[in-house]
Amino acid sequence: MSDNRQGADQEQLWERAEAAGLGAIAEKVLAKTRLSREDGLTLYNSPALHVVGELANHVRERMHGDRTYFNVNQHINYTNICNKLCRFCAFQRLPGQEGAYVMSPAEVAEKIRAQLDAPVTEVHMVAGIYPKLPYEYYLQILRAVKETRPEIHIKAFTMIELMQIARRAKRPLREILPELIEAGLGSCPGGGAEVFADRVHREGYHLKNTGEQWLETARIVHEAGLRSNCTMLHGHIETPEERVDHLDRLRRLQDETHGFQAYIPLSFHPDHTEWAHLGAPTALDELREIAVARLLLDNIDHIKAYWIMLGIPVAQIALSYGANDVDGTVVEERIYHDAGATTPQEVERRELVQWIRDAGRVPVERDTLYNVIDSCDAPREAAIPAEPALS
Ligand code: V47
């Protein structure tokens, strides 16, 4: 695009933002100046969601153009037994309760074996906190995955699981991380952060790690040389101020460690939870979360629209509201489906590619660490007959 054309586009964007009362924020966005916490609050409270989205899209395109990342992955939730009793969770079971399960290392290996014909590059492995599982169990499930599919990347264990694993090992996390890495751990997912604010922690998940503990654990993970993701579970009892605070705390840690690869806003799914009466966030809420995150988190490269949670149509729109990643093919997701998600449990690689294209973006298959595996513009994809977007 010529400089003149670009200048004119930016001026029009600024004019639309100014008309919506967001002119000062637009100026900062165009000048690549960091937004303040107050700006974050203004964006949350602005009725002009489309302008907030346009500003976020400007940043998304400045950082990534039309590129939209996805990967071919598989989820394994190795146990649903958990002692944290979080009020937002429909996945947890108590020992002995109907439906409670723990996978043995052999069963974990079997799940991996079942996908050996698929081009899976990552296993995403998270679960409940079951204090009876010994430290050795965690090493064994990592090894079981690697023995079955040596080249796969294991993205496993949220910060609370890592805290539990260290507790069972009776050693500091810093000391056991090299052993987990040696057994196959490649990076960590972003779950379990919920909302950092103490008030929300007290009301919703007081048995779980605090926000400060989550952040401190992430710091240790990054210092050990692992990358991780980060999340916020939004759409329940939290206030806009508490959301801004959460994003700001992530941004401050990222300034220090640069260890976060992607941020994923997780929309609360209420079914079968103690918070069922709260209802779910709307599609507009979800798009705003994506957009505000893209604008505030100027030091985190990727914003993920997790299609399993959003549904494919909202995830497609999110690609023009700041998101540049859609997660992966997934296979057998339990946490959201227990809480009422109606999305398919798995999509094929070519379906993901097609619906990213249908959203007007350029699909790029990545590995977990964002190395490009396939830029999808080669004849390989062109040879696949076009399919309508899923709905
Ligand atoms: O830790 C649990 C949340 C997380 C519900 O890192 C719920 O790439 C909404 O972390 N409604 C698990 N959310 C999912 C997760 C994740 C997903 C995709 C990609 C990545 C990544 C991470 O889901 C949990 C919890 O924060 N959660 N129950 C619920 N009813």
The 10 Å Cβ neighbour count of residue 46 is 18
Beta partners for residue 234, in sequence order: 267
* pTM value surpassing 0.85: yes
Task: Tell me the residue type at 354.
Answer: Q
Rounded Cα distance, 123 and 254, in Å: 25
Burial environment of residue 332 by CB neighbours within 10 A (0 to 12, 13 to 18, 19 or more) = middle
Q: Which atom of ligand 1 is the closest one to the Cα of 91? A: 28
Ligand 1 in contact with 108 (CB < 6 A)? no
Ligand 1 in contact with 194 (CB < 6 A)? yes
Lowest mean per-residue pLDDT among 54-63, 133-142, 309-318, 382-391? 382-391
Q: How far is the CA of 190 from the centre of ligand 1 (A)?
A: 8
Write the pLDDT tens digit of every residue in 341-375: 887 767 888 889 999 999 999 999 999 999 999 88
Mutate to test the pocket of ligand 1, among 71, 80, 164, 231 (most ligand atoms within 8 A of CB): 231
Please, which residues have CB within 8 angstroms of residue 21's CB and are 6 or more apart in sequence?
42, 46, 48
Question: Taking the C-alpha atoms of 236, 240, 243 and 249 in order, what is their torsion angle to the nearest 10 degrees?
Answer: -160
Ligand 1 in contact with 184 (CB < 6 A)? no
- The pLDDT of residue 380 is 43
Name the residue with the closest Cα to ligand 1, atom 15: 191
Calculate mean pLDDT across residues 117-133. Answer: 96
Ligand 1 in contact with 191 (CB < 6 A)? yes
Name the residue with the closest Cα to ligand 1, atom 4: 191
Mutate to test the pocket of ligand 1, among 71, 76, 163, 233 (most ligand atoms within 8 A of CB): 233
Mutate to test the pocket of ligand 1, among 278, 335, 368 (most ligand atoms within 8 A of CB): 335
Q: How many residues does the chain have?
A: 391
Name the residue with the closest Cα to ligand 1, atom 21: 189
What is the residue-wise DSSP string for 18-57? HHTT-HHHHHHHHTTPPPPHHHHHHHHH-S-HHHHHHHHH
Write the pLDDT tens digit of every residue in 139-156: 999 999 999 999 999 999
32-37 long-range contacts, Cβ below 8 Å, gap at least 24? 32/298, 34/298, 35/295, 35/296, 35/298, 37/244, 37/245, 37/248
Among residues 139, 108, 137, which one has the least CA distance to residue 124? Answer: 108
Is residue 114 pLDDT above 70, yes or no? yes
The 10 Å Cβ neighbour count of residue 243 is 26
Sign of CA dihedral 176, 253, 315, 327: negative
Q: How far is the CA of 186 from the centre of ligand 1 (A)?
A: 19
Ligand 1 in contact with 189 (CB < 6 A)? yes
